[in-house]
Amino acid sequence: MSLVLISHSRLLGEGLRDMVSQVAGPEVQVAVAAGTEDGRLGTSAPLIVGAIRTALAGGPAGAADGVLVLLDLGSAALSLEIALEDLTQLERSRVRVSEAPLVEGAVLAAVQASLGATLEATYEAAADAATMSKLPRA
Amino acid sequence: MPEIHLLVIDPTGLHARPAAKFVQLASRFASRIVIRHADREADAKSLSGVLGLTLRPSTEITVSAEGPDALAALEALKEELTPYVTPLIPESVQLVKGELPA
């Protein structure tokens, strides 16, 4: 299981990858497509395709069984849509897109993936981010 | 069901990194492991569950395990959490309270 993080901001994407790796451990592969090719705020379909293919290729342990994609806001979804059309059917069948909030979803998904979970289980773990309580209760 | 009672001593509570390590370790055991605080409980193998307990410093938690490797799981989890928690009751007393697996 690998993750792809899509953000409008390169700093946000790289920072989140750093955080996710520290929490979940280095064995979960995380690819980032954040910012535009020329470093501005925005998203880029070609960068997303590249990140998904990197994630699919996996790490030293071999190709990833699946790739969970998480994204931030607005037009990230449009760029992703274009990127997904570029994938082959076989590639597309190993990719799932999460609705989860980016930061919380990425952390939950990465920890689930670190347990050797399937794409489905990782998707479900990320989905929990939407209802997870954040502030301590009295 | 064997259980251990722990006090969260880390000044930032049980935050993301130790919680993730806790979940990763708990997932290696077959037993059902539950972490409880006050009237709330979470599956110790779910990070959203454990983080959702939002454990502050100085809160008391109970970790219980049920299954073939329950005692080994509790021992391993206690060890893993050592920098963040401290046992509330001497261990010898705690284990007497728990039942040995069949």
Domain around B45: 3-97
User: What tokens appear for A103 in the block?
Assistant: 């930061």
Q: Is A109 on the interface with B (CB under 8 A)?
A: no
Residue-level pLDDT at B14: 83
Q: Which tokens go with B99? A: 């039942």
Helix/strand number for chain A, H first, E second: 6, 4
Find the CATH number of the domain harbouring B24: 3.30.1340.10
Token code pair at residue A21 = 């790796």
**pLDDT value for A138:** 59
B20/A24 touch (CB, cutoff 8 Å), yes or no: yes
Q: pLDDT of A48-59, one tens digit each?
A: 999 999 999 987
Element of type H or E holding A97: strand A95-97
Q: What is the CATH number of domain A2-130?
A: 3.40.50.510
Q: What is the pLDDT of residue B90?
A: 58
User: Which pLDDT tens digits describe chain B residue by residue (102 residues)?
Assistant: 899 999 998 888 888 888 999 999 999 999 999 999 989 999 999 999 999 998 888 889 999 999 999 999 999 999 888 888 888 865 544 554 555 554
Q: Do B54 and A136 touch (CB under 8 A)?
A: yes
Q: Distance from B80 to chain A by nearest Cα, in Å?
A: 15
A107:B16 CB<8 A: yes
Distances in whole angstroms, Cα of residue A1 to Cα of each of A34, A65, A89, B38: 20, 6, 18, 35
Residue-level pLDDT at A79: 97
pLDDT at B100: 55
Q: Determine, for residues A108 and B48 on separate chains, whether the beta-carbon distance falls below 8 Å.
A: yes
pLDDT the model gives residue B96: 47
Q: What is the pLDDT of residue B10?
A: 86
Domain boundaries, chain A: 2-130
Residue of chain A with shortest Cα separation from B54 = A136
Each residue's pLDDT expressed in tens, for chain A with a length of 138 residues? 999 999 999 999 999 999 999 999 998 999 999 999 999 999 999 999 999 999 999 877 788 899 999 999 989 999 999 999 999 999 999 999 999 999 999 999 999 999 999 999 999 999 999 998 888 775
Smallest Cβ distance to A23: which of B16, B48, B55?
B16
According to DSSP, the β-strands at B85-87 and B3-8 are: antiparallel
| Chain A residues lying within 8 Å of B27, measured CB to CB | 115
Among A67, A120, A132, A117, smallest CA distance to A95 is for A67
Q: Which residues of B touch A25 (CB under 8 A)?
A: 24
Token pair 């994609």 is found at A69
Query: Is the Cβ pair B47, A125 closer than 8 Å?
Result: yes
Query: Could you give the ipTM of this predicted complex?
Result: 0.82
Q: Work out the minimum CA distance from A115 to partner chain B, whole angstroms.
A: 6
- pLDDT (0 to 100) of residue B102: 47
A8 catalytic per annotation: yes
Which of B24, B45, B48 is nearest residue A114 as measured by Cβ atoms? B24
- Full-model pTM: 0.86
What does the alpha-carbon distance between residue A7 and residue A16 come to, in Å, rounded to a whole number?
Answer: 10
Q: What is the spatial distance between Cα B27 and Cα A21, in angstroms, rounded to a whole number?
A: 19
Domain presence at residue B102 = no
Surface of A (18-47) touching B: CB under 8 A = 22-25
Distance from CA of B96 to the nearest CA of A (A): 32
